[in-house]
């Protein structure tokens, strides 16, 4: 597609439920990133995928968070047993090479 | 380890006035530096970046920033603010390792433009 697509754009879930957030990067972009944006906290790095290399998971805040990237394209971020502190905007970005990020519009997650 | 400090979470300027958004960074290696803008309910859009070469970089919408190594700064400026510049601005730093590197962001500065 023309840009990075994220779905859903908004998600409200009950505490304790699992959620899946999807990112469809720009075709041909080998690098894919997930960030979390909390109110007043700026952007927090979560995970990134680069080609066939092992992902850098160093930013995942707990083992309730996981992500996959299938076929070098679409990525899914999964949050298990959601907590209220997981409420945030989850942003995905992709890049064809170094330092050319394109961000999606994000998924706003609200845990009630 | 890298970090970014943006001084002032909120900045208000009059339309036509100079915009100055401050960013200081900490990096153990020569950094790459970025400014992003985020309009309400949208993702982040790259304004400009410094990688190598000229330390004064020009970006979109009339913005520019100057990399000052001695001051570890990368302040964003625009000579004359426009109402459409109202948004949140993020400074970010990455290192030069690997072919694609994660960014470390500042906490953002919300720019308000008044008549």
What pLDDT tens digit does each residue of chain A (112 aa) get?
A: 579 999 999 999 999 999 999 999 999 888 899 999 987 678 899 998 988 888 999 999 999 999 999 887 999 999 999 999 999 999 999 987 656 688 999 999 999 9
Contacts of B40 (CB under 8 A, 6+ apart): B87
Contacts of B44 (CB under 8 A, 6+ apart): A43, A91, A93, A101, A103, B36, B37, B38, B90
Q: Does position B105 have pLDDT exceeding 80, yes or no? A: yes
- Cβ atoms of A24 and A73 closer than 8 Å: yes
What's the confidence (pLDDT) of residue B97? 60
Q: Does position B95 have pLDDT exceeding 80, yes or no? A: no
Average pLDDT taken over every residue of chain B: 91
- Among the listed residues B74, B88, B92, B93, the one whose alpha carbon sits nearest the alpha carbon of residue B23: B74
Q: Which of B2, B46, B100 to mutate to test the interface with A (most CBs of A within 10 A)?
A: B100
A to B CB pairs, distance under 8 Å: 59
- Ranking A3-17, B12-26, B89-103 by mean pLDDT, the lowest is B89-103
Separation of alpha carbons B48 and B45, rounded Å: 9
What's the confidence (pLDDT) of residue A1? 54
CA-based nearest distance A58→chain B, Å: 11
Cα-Cα-Cα-Cα dihedral sign, residues A50, A55, A57, A63: positive
Look at B51 and A99 and tell me if their CB atoms are within 8 Å: yes
Look at B102 and A33 and tell me if their CB atoms are within 8 Å: yes
Q: Does position B99 have pLDDT exceeding 60, yes or no? A: no
What's the confidence (pLDDT) of residue B90? 95
- Among the listed residues A56, A60, A112, A69, the one whose alpha carbon sits nearest the alpha carbon of residue A87: A112
Q: Which residues of A touch B98 (CB under 8 A)?
A: 50, 98
CA-based nearest distance A104→chain B, Å: 5
CA-based nearest distance B103→chain A, Å: 7
Find the closest chain B residue to A43 by CA distance. B105
Task: Tell me, yes or no, if A91 comes closer than 8 A to chain B by beta carbon.
Answer: yes
Mean pLDDT of B99-104: 71
- Cβ atoms of A4 and A25 closer than 8 Å: yes
CA-based nearest distance A112→chain B, Å: 21
């Amino acid at each position: 597609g023309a840009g990075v697509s994220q779905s859903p754009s908004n998600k409200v879930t009950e505490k304790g439920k699992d959620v899946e957030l999807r990112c469809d990067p720009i075709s041909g972009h080998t690098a894919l990133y997930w960030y979390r944006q909390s109110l007043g906290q700026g952007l927090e790095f979560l995970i990134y995928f680069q080609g066939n290399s092992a992902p850098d998971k160093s930013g995942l805040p707990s083992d309730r968070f996981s992500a996959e990237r299938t076929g070098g394209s679409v990525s899914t971020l999964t949050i298990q047993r959601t907590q209220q502190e997981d409420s945030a905007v989850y942003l995905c970005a992709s890049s064809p090479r170094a330092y050319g990020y394109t961000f999606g519009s994000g998924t706003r997650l609200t845990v009630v | 380890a890298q970090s970014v400090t943006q001084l002032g979470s909120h900045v208000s300027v009059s339309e036509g006035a100079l915009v100055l958004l401050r960013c200081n960074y900490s990096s153990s290696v020569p950094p790459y530096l970025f400014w992003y803008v985020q309009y309400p309910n949208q993702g982040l859009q790259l304004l400009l970046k410094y990688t190598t070469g000229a330390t004064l970089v020009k970006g979109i919408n009339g913005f520019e920033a100057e990399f000052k190594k001695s001051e570890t700064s990368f302040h964003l400026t625009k000579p004359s603010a426009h109402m459409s510049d109202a948004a949140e601005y993020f400074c970010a730093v990455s290192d030069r390792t690997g072919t694609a590197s994660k960014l470390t962001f500042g906490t953002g500065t919300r720019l308000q433009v008044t008549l």
